[in-house]
Every structure is written in C-alpha cells, then in structure tokens.
Structure 1
C-alpha cells in the first residue's frame, strides 16, 4: 500500500511537467523540419532538447522502478515503458526518439484518471497527424522520386493514410517512409476502433439506463394496481355487496329481508 501510494504521488506530481516536456520535444523535433535553413546551432539545440526530454522520461521510469516494492513485476507489467526508454539507445535516429517519446507520453496519459478517453483519443489523433507529417516530410523531402515536398503535402498524406482512404496522389517512396505509413495505418485503424467502441458503449449504457427506468416504472404501476384491487375488495366487503366472502346479510333477519322502520315483520 505504501509503495503504491508513493508511486501514485510521484506520477501525479510529474504528470504535468512531463507533458510540458513532451511539448518541448514536439517543438524541437519540428523546427529543423519546418525550417530547413536553420543554422547548425539551432539544430544542435533542438537535438539536445530531444535527448533531454528522453532523459527526463528515462529518469521518471527509473524513479518509479525504485519506488516499486516488487521490481520484477513492475518491469514485467511496464515492459512498454522499458522498451520506449531503451529504443533510442539502439540506434541514434531522430525517428526512434520520436517513437519512444510518443509511447512514454501515451503511457503516462493512460495513468492519469482525470483525462477522459475521448480527450486522449483526440490528442492521440492530433499528435499522430502532426508527428507523422513531420516524420514523412523529413525522410521524403530529399528523395529524388518523392512527391511529398511541403508540409501541406505531408499533412494531406497523413490524413488520408490514417483514415485508410489512400487517394494515392501522395505516397512515400523510401523504405523508412513506407514504415511510417504502415505505422500510421495501424494507428488509424486502432483509434477508429477505440472511437467506435466508445460510442457503442455509450449507447449501450444509455439503453440499459432507460431499460432499468422502464422496469422500475412498470413495477411501481403493478404495485399501485395491486393496492387499488385490494382497496376495491375492502370497499366491496364493507358495503355488503353480494358475492363477497364473509357477507351473507344482516343477522337476526330471516331470509335476508330488512324490515322497514315502523312496520312489523310479517308473520308467515
């Protein structure tokens, strides 16, 4: 319990700073691509910012690992975090740093209970469109056979790829560009499935709520009808209606005839 509460406190305190660092990473990643004429100093500063953000996420993982009482279980259940931390070390590529940062931000966003699923999906769509466009532009701009040369072309291609429309007017020609395309396709299908499942779950919950309310109202009506029938039976018994059990006339009068006031009963 103490280990879990310590981890939860750490995750709550670092949630906003890490998301802010992710924005810094986005800017540092986008500047050299959108501004190809940037100087060497600007590019070096952006590269340092990218590695710095990755280092912050790696440090966050190590702290959470240190706060875990069952560390092997933590590593086993947080294997995606570990893979995202180790991925940029395998090969010093900017694309790997991009993928690892997106994975780490996504994992931390899922841990935040205050972020709703719809907000997360919208943010994921925007991030994938933005980073997918930047990534494909960075690898296709210098390709002699490529037709994705501007940011507008890259955004249009990313949108048609994520929605699996694929008009074909813009397409990657390099191997790395096609790898990015496959990632966007799979991500688009997955996000579409999440949105569809979320909408379906909302409708099902709404229908179940209406059904529960309808059953409650039906039960209340049946209970009220039963009470009305019981009251009618009691009123019928008190008024001496013939045919009601327990009522056979007035005692002391033979034949069930009631004499009128002032008139003697007739002798047989």
Structure 2
C-alpha cells in the first residue's frame, strides 16, 4: 500500500537520488583515502562531491523532520537516521532499503523472505566491511605502533571483525579506530544473528512440510 502522506511522497521521490548520492559519497571518500598522490585539483573535486552528498543527506533529514510534524520526537523515533547523518559512511546501507522498496512496488518480491534476509545481510556485510576498512585504514596506517599499514590489512581486519572471528594479528591502536571496531563487532553480531535466524526458520519450515507429507503411523 502506497503512503500518500507528504512524508511518504517525499521519501518516494527522493529515495533513488539519495541512493545515488550515497554511492557517490562512498566512491569519493574511497578515492580521497586510497589515492594518496591525487593532484590537488582532483582532490578538491572529490571533496566537493563528498560535501555535496552530505548536504543532500542533511536537506533530506531536515525535510522529513518538518513533514513528520513530530517536532523533537522525530530525533528519538528516527535515531538511526540521526546516526547516519552524523556518520554518513553508513548511508550506503540505504541502497539495500531502496532495492527492497523497488521490488515491493513492482509487486511481490522475487525472492522468498529467508532468501531476502540472507541476500540483504550479505550486501550489508559487503558495504559495512568496505566502509569500515576505509575508515580504519584512514586513521590507522600512519599511527605510531600501527599493525594496519595497508588497505589489504584493513580489509582482512574488517572481514575477521564482521565474522566475529577476531584473529588479533591486526588490531586498531588509535581511539577512533577502536571505536570503529566496536561498531563493526556490533554490526557483525547483528548480521550473523539475522542470517542464522533466517536459516533456522527455513529449516524448521522444510522439516514441518516433510512431516505433513509423511503418511500417518510412520
């Protein structure tokens, strides 16, 4: 059912452009972090893209706040949106939400619920791993006593952290790097729980259908 309220119409019109802005933000940030020898002119261009994308996020947040009519309660009820505004590197995760919204508009989603949970958790893990690796690499590779010296080290660390393995061969040494690590651990546990729950539910449904097909007395 389509939400025909002003707030719903705003979200419907802006979700696709904001998804593009999210990917542009992530791409510009990645270039600024990884391309250390980038000429000053190009660095200024990518920095402008970064700032413009964040400005679009801020305008969207302010517009939805005003259209909601909730006043300061909007900040409490939409705490995740507030967090994403403060930490815009998490914004690309909304691409997953946009894909879900588009599928629902076209009718029934193509994938079953359990498959969608696994697919979206996988996409979220990829985006979180990439953004987390970028952020940790930015703050760690020049720190004194750092063990994360290359972007490859950062990707390995992010993968181990999201998978809740935690080998400990590479660890953040800066306060901000450790704060990012805590966030990655929490997200990793949440994603792992979602996938495990969806898989367990699917197995229970399969076993229940097999029991229903089994002849009585067997």
| TM interval, short-chain normalised | 0.7 to 0.9
Where 1:59 maps in the other structure, the secondary structure is helix
Please give the per-residue CA displacement for 1:82-122, whole angstroms capped at 9, x wherever unaligned.
3433x2xxxxxxxx4424x357x379559737373333211
Query: 1:133 corresponds to which residue?
Result: 133
Please give the per-residue CA displacement for 1:228-248, whole angstroms capped at 9, x wherever unaligned.
xxxxxxxxxxxxxxxxxxxxx
1:182 equivalenced with 2:182 (yes/no): yes
Query: 1:112 corresponds to which residue?
Result: 101
Per-residue deviation, 1:80: 2.3
Q: What does residue range 186-201 of structure 1 map to in structure 2 within 5 Å?
A: 186-201=186-201
1:27 equivalenced with 2:32 (yes/no): no
Per-residue deviation, 1:199: 0.8
C-alpha distance in 1 between matches for 2:2 and 2:16 = 23
Query: 1:151 corresponds to which residue?
Result: 151
Tell which has more relative contact order, 1 or 2 (C-alpha 8 A, sep 6+).
2
Where 2:171 maps in the other structure, the secondary structure is coil
Query: 1:60 corresponds to which residue?
Result: 60
Range 70-79 or range 177-186, more displaced: 70-79
C-alpha distance in 1 between matches for 2:180 and 2:82 = 22
C-alpha distance in 1 between matches for 2:75 and 2:185 = 29
Contact 2:26–2:92 (CA under 8 A) maintained in structure 1: no
Contact 1:3–1:68 (CA under 8 A) maintained in structure 2: no
Gaps in structure 1 of 5+ consecutive residues? 88-95, 219-268
C-alpha distance in 2 between matches for 1:200 and 1:2 = 32
Gaps in structure 2 of 5+ consecutive residues? 105-115
Where 1:36 maps in the other structure, the secondary structure is coil
Contact 1:12–1:112 (CA under 8 A) maintained in structure 2: no
Query: 2:15 corresponds to which residue?
Result: 15
RMSD between superposed Cα atoms in Å: 3.0
Per-residue deviation, 1:27: 0.7
Contact 2:96–2:123 (CA under 8 A) maintained in structure 1: no
CA shift in 2, pair 1:107/1:65, >3 Å: farther
CA shift in 2, pair 1:117/1:142, >3 Å: same
C-alpha distance in 2 between matches for 1:108 and 1:97 = 16
Larger Rg: 1
Per-residue deviation, 1:169: 2.0
CA shift in 2, pair 1:72/1:177, >3 Å: closer
Query: 2:44 corresponds to which residue?
Result: 44
Where 2:118 maps in the other structure, the secondary structure is helix
Per-residue deviation, 1:129: 1.1
CA shift in 2, pair 1:149/1:56, >3 Å: same
Query: 2:108 corresponds to which residue?
Result: none
Query: 1:165 corresponds to which residue?
Result: 165
Query: 1:263 corresponds to which residue?
Result: none
C-alpha distance in 2 between matches for 1:180 and 1:54 = 20
CA shift in 2, pair 1:19/1:106, >3 Å: closer
Q: TM-score, normalised by structure 2?
A: 0.78
Query: 2:89 corresponds to which residue?
Result: 98
